[in-house]
Structure 1
Amino acid sequence: MYAAITLLVFMCLTASTYADHHHPCHAPNMTGFMSLRSMKGDVKAYGAFTYDSMGKKLRFRSNESYPTNTSLGLDLLMFFDEGIFYEIDSKNQSCEKKTLQCTQHPLDIPNDATFMGTINVGSPSIEGEGIKTNVWTGSMPDMKGHYSMSVTMGCLPVCTMYFHESSAFIVSITEVDSEIKDPDLLVVPSCCLAQPLEETPEGTVNSFLNEFM
């Protein structure tokens, strides 16, 4: 597993075709699965997601039955344009409402990302055995780190690597459908409607990524 992740890191970081005329694309609506792992292969979380690209809304529910004790049990509903998110506990019908200080997430390329090049994963000469991806990179001042993101020609994310001053992890996207299968997942649950906005401790940066660091 570690060798596979190392190879993916190498491929993503060695894209060499630079072009200034490329502009970041924006992913369509999506439903799929997301895996977050440390560069050593430890699972941080794995679960299903629903993403509304126009409304800038994301629901991520990690699978607590995933066969590893390191997977986090999370249910997050994020409203990036509004700058708020909810941590939901459906079992206990409870909820926490918090402010988002950083809206970056692995399903969309930031507007200030830099195009690094195009790479072929697999074999471009054998039909059905390769995929062409664009690689985008950028910094994350709020998190004191940087990222490298690979997306398909249709702007579907494949993997994103995050390098923080104290950690590094990779986000992989699989089984993607370019539609919202269950719109109700992006509606605030009744148990959250009356929740007040919690105060953010000084020095804390709430974001989708910080939930796993």
Structure 2
Amino acid sequence: MRLLAVLTCFLAGCLAEKPHPCSSPSLLSGALTVSTQNEKLWVYGQYLYDALEQRTRLTELGTYENKTLTYDVLLLYREAAMYEINMHDRTCKKRPLTTEFQPMEVPKDASLLGQAVLGTSSEPAGGLLVNTWTGDLPNAGGKFMATVTEFGCIPVSTAYHTGQYGWVLTSLFNNIIGITDPSKLNPPDFCPDAEAPTEGEPANFLSLFLNRA
């Protein structure tokens, strides 16, 4: 009986502990949407994320200013290279990549806005406990807001403000810890001979979508 009381107190203390900034798993895959406040951009895509080797791949389908766009891009940050891939035509363009790798994490200096349940807490397994954080954008002006799960630090959504497009919202879902096909984070066999021009590198995450317009 005494052991049960101790365990109960321990669990209550853990549940009452204040959330702390965290890092997402090093290997993630899933789906995402990106939209802008001015309604010019809407994108649905798949993503692969490898923080260990600093690699990301995005495949997109969406609209920008009422024009349909499709895009498949592989970002190799350690090689400072970006590959624009067309699997259908088996063509590839290699461009320089000057942006730094940004891990999926809540920075240590972020401030907790609050904790909430997505869904319902009225029945078991009916909801998801999440934490929402805010802070300053790294190496840029303005603020960001990010929501991650309390357990596992799985990203749910991020939002930040730009002068040209207003708020930019990214929502992530169907997240899986791990990558089922790591070969997709390597350039296809028709890419190695692609030339690397000196211009045209993406300036930031949003430009990966807007440059396709």
Whether the TM-score (by the shorter chain) exceeds 0.5 is: yes
CA distance in structure 2 between the aligned counterparts of 1:187 and 1:69, rounded to whole angstroms: 32
Q: 1:183 to 1:104 in 2, by over 3 A?
A: closer
1:34 is matched with: 32
Gaps spanning 5+ residues in structure 1: where? 1-18
Instruction: Say yes or no: does 1:164 pair with 2:194.
Output: no
The structure having more radius of gyration, on CA atoms, is: 2
> Which aligned pairs between 1:63-82 and structure 2 lie closer than 5 A?
63=61, 70-82=67-79
> Which aligned pairs between 1:98-177 and structure 2 lie closer than 5 A?
98-103=95-100, 108-109=104-105, 111=107, 114-120=110-116, 121-140=118-137, 144-153=141-150, 154-167=152-165, 168-177=167-176
1:24 is matched with: 22
Question: 1:48 Cα deviation (Å)?
Answer: 1.5
Instruction: Find 1:97's aligned residue among 91, 94, 109.
Output: 94
Q: Is the 8 A contact 2:133 2:145 kept in 1?
A: yes
2:178 is matched with: 179
Question: 1:113 Cα deviation (Å)?
Answer: 5.2
Q: Is the 8 A contact 1:146 1:163 kept in 2?
A: yes
What is the Cα-based RMSD across aligned positions, in Å?
2.9
Say which structure is richer in strand: 2
In the alignment of these two chains, the number of paired residues is 189
Q: Is the 8 A contact 2:113 2:134 kept in 1?
A: no
CA distance in structure 2 between the aligned counterparts of 1:84 and 1:139, rounded to whole angstroms: 27
Range 69-78 or range 40-49, more displaced: 40-49
CA distance in structure 2 between the aligned counterparts of 1:42 and 1:193, rounded to whole angstroms: 35
Question: 1:140 Cα deviation (Å)?
Answer: 3.4
Amino acid at match of 1:190: D
Question: 1:76 Cα deviation (Å)?
Answer: 0.9
Q: Is the 8 A contact 2:96 2:199 kept in 1?
A: yes
Amino acid at match of 1:119: Q
Q: Deviations over 1:150-204 (max 9, x none)?
A: 1112111101112111112211111111120111111111222112322136xx7
Question: 1:42 Cα deviation (Å)?
Answer: 5.8
> Which aligned pairs between 1:192-207 and structure 2 lie closer than 5 A?
192-200=191-199, 206-207=203-204
Gaps spanning 5+ residues in structure 2: where? 1-17
TM-score, normalization by structure 1: 0.73
TM-score, normalization by structure 2: 0.73
Percent identical: 24
Q: 1:41 to 1:151 in 2, by over 3 A?
A: farther
Q: 1:74 to 1:50 in 2, by over 3 A?
A: same
CA distance in structure 2 between the aligned counterparts of 1:85 and 1:63, rounded to whole angstroms: 19
Question: 1:69 Cα deviation (Å)?
Answer: 5.4
Q: Is the 8 A contact 1:113 1:137 kept in 2?
A: no
Q: Deviations over 1:35-90 (max 9, x none)?
A: 111235665221221222322211111136x9x95553110101233332211122
Q: 1:185 to 1:160 in 2, by over 3 A?
A: same
